[in-house]
Chain A
Amino acid sequence: MKLKPTKEEIVKGNIELYGNKQIIVDGCKGVIDYNEDYLKLDLGKIILKVTGRNLVIDSYIYEQVDLKGEIVSVEFMN
């Protein structure tokens, strides 16, 4: 089993979480599903699902999504 991620994987799939109010995701290939209560992002091999309330995409630029709102959970799906 591969435990350590490669440098390339770290750079491409960087996620920053600021409390439960903001999440910044780098390496986003596209938005799969989005509304006020959840957001599904395509990160290449995995899908990131963020659920919460009053979710607003503060910016979406160059594969970087800045999501603000009241975040309840962050899930990874294959």
Chain B
Amino acid sequence: MIINFLRLILGFVEFEAKGGFPERFLNLCTVNGITLWQVQNDGVKVKACTSVKAYKNIKKSARNSGMKVKIVRKRGLPFFIKNNRARAGVLVGLSLVVFFLALSSCMLWNIEVIGNEKIKSEVLMESLSNNGVRIGVFKSKIDTIAIQNELLDEYKDLSWASINIFGTKAVLEVKENSEKPKMADDKIPMNIIAKKDGQIVLVEAHKGTNVVKEGDVVVKGDLLISGVTLNGDGSEKTIHATGKVFANTLTNINGECGVEVIGNVLKTSGNKYYLYALGGEIPLFLKCKGEKLYKGENLLKSTSGELPFGVKWEYLGEFQETEIELTENQTALLALFDCVKEKREKFKDECEVLKISYIKKFTDDKTQVKCKVSAKENIAEEKEIFVE
């Protein structure tokens, strides 16, 4: 396969030889260092192929064996170029394609980050870009070891980083440090108290004495797990109580929205297009007004992923501050959004929202929404025991 390809690149001739002694001709060719291939003897003539240079020396072997040689066909790149000298444009185009392919294969086409969980891929990509690893750079200019060390210095959360270049793809593989567990400061004596009103559903006391049990109703500030324990001799000692106490709670959240609001209204808009190739962008516009609102890209795809060729675009727009009068439904919806935002902040960890109900109240100038959130959550809160 490779040999045939090289033969096509270097060029070769198919010839036929008639009369004389074919076997002697073959032997003389070999003795004279003339390489022959695809030799066929049909009894009348011998057909064979040889290189252009060897064919120039074949006449001596043919004469000594009484054969007459004649070229049947000339094949390969040198003959193709010679035959198409008049079509210079095609040859220039072909040469440019070959040059572009050869050049682009020396560049990076894709960058991938794997192994990261805490540090975002975009952040690592940005660092790589700052260190010269970006789409379109020459692979030979990338000092992988220096960049690896740079990344490890920059991000203390990384314990290991390695840049591997596979063909035109660079893969950054990282390992992140595992966080040290927080050591509880158990020297200060603490009680566990309720941070909210509710009905207890589960008590998990890790250290300390349970004061409440399932089904009890507690109000904010009530003692749940005591940090005062009894010794064997009946004396008391204070410890740092730890544990979780889950209770069914009811939380009120209020949201409101005025009828008249000042909002940004989109006045003008347009798209800016760029032709994208190997990290470079060629603008396809003359002048565009407005600030960039969002951007997108349509890249060519192959079986192994996206290629660094395609079209990128930016959506542009200009906002103008305008006073808007809202309908009742719109104000109610915005007030509800306020409630949802507050709810998300209040119910983050260790909680399960069971039910949400709300009521709307419309006045002349605003709309109020009152939400009641029923949830099962951890109401345990540590409070220091002051000992005199």
Interface residues of A (CB under 8 A from B): 30-36, 56-63
- Across-interface contacts of A63 in B (CB, < 8 A): 30
CB pair A58–B38 under 8 Å, yes or no, is: yes
Q: Mark B115-131, 1 if CB is under 8 A from A, else 0.
A: 00000000000000000
Q: How far is the CB of A70 from chain B (nearest CB, A)?
A: 14
Assess whether B322 is interfacial by the CB under 8 Å rule: no
- Across-interface contacts of A32 in B (CB, < 8 A): 23
Assess whether B350 is interfacial by the CB under 8 Å rule: no
Across the interface, name the chain B residue whose C-beta is closest to A56.
B40
Interface residues of B (CB under 8 A from A): 22-23, 26-27, 29-30, 35-43, 48
- Across-interface contacts of B39 in A (CB, < 8 A): 34, 56-58, 60
Q: A34-B22, A57-B48, A60-B30 are in contact. List 8 more A-B contacts (CB 8 A).
A: A33-B23, A35-B41, A36-B40, A36-B43, A56-B40, A57-B26, A58-B38, A60-B36
* Complexed CA–CA distance, A58 and B26 (Å): 13
- Across-interface contacts of B40 in A (CB, < 8 A): 36, 56-57
* Complexed CA–CA distance, A36 and B285 (Å): 69
Tell which of A30, A60, A62 has the most Cβ of chain B within 10 Å.
A60
Across the interface, name the chain A residue whose C-beta is closest to B31.
A30
CB pair A57–B36 under 8 Å, yes or no, is: yes
- Across-interface contacts of A58 in B (CB, < 8 A): 37-39
Residues of A contacting B: mostly: strand
Q: How far is the CB of A21 from chain B (nearest CB, A)?
A: 15
CB pair B42–A35 under 8 Å, yes or no, is: yes
Across the interface, name the chain B residue whose C-beta is closest to A29.
B27
CB pair B37–A59 under 8 Å, yes or no, is: yes
**When A and B form their complex, which 5 residue pairs have the shortest distance between CB atoms, in order from nearest?**
A57-B39, A30-B27, A31-B23, A59-B37, A31-B26
* Complexed CA–CA distance, A15 and B35 (Å): 20
CB pair A34–B23 under 8 Å, yes or no, is: yes
Across the interface, name the chain A residue whose C-beta is closest to B42.
A36
Assuming A30-B27, A35-B43, is B38 touching A56 (CB within 8 A)? yes
* Complexed CA–CA distance, A57 and B48 (Å): 9
Q: How far is the CB of B38 from chain A (nearest CB, A)?
A: 6
Tell which of A31, A36, A56, A63 has the most Cβ of chain B within 10 Å.
A31
- Across-interface contacts of B36 in A (CB, < 8 A): 57, 59-61
Q: Which of B27, B37, B48 interacts with A31 by CB under 8 Å?
A: B27
- Across-interface contacts of A35 in B (CB, < 8 A): 41-43
CB pair B22–A59 under 8 Å, yes or no, is: no
CB pair B35–A34 under 8 Å, yes or no, is: no
CB pair A59–B35 under 8 Å, yes or no, is: yes
* Complexed CA–CA distance, A33 and B38 (Å): 17
* Complexed CA–CA distance, A35 and B38 (Å): 13
- Across-interface contacts of B30 in A (CB, < 8 A): 30, 60-63
- Across-interface contacts of B38 in A (CB, < 8 A): 56-58
* Complexed CA–CA distance, A65 and B280 (Å): 54
The 8 sampled A-B contact pairs (Cβ below 8 Å) are A30-B27, A32-B23, A35-B41, A57-B36, A60-B26, A60-B30, A60-B36, A63-B30
CB pair A34–B43 under 8 Å, yes or no, is: no
* Complexed CA–CA distance, A27 and B38 (Å): 20
- Across-interface contacts of B48 in A (CB, < 8 A): 57
* Complexed CA–CA distance, A30 and B23 (Å): 8
- Across-interface contacts of A62 in B (CB, < 8 A): 30
Q: How far is the CB of B131 from chain A (nearest CB, A)?
A: 52
CB pair A34–B41 under 8 Å, yes or no, is: yes
CB pair B23–A61 under 8 Å, yes or no, is: no
* Complexed CA–CA distance, A57 and B43 (Å): 14
Across the interface, name the chain B residue whose C-beta is closest to A59.
B37
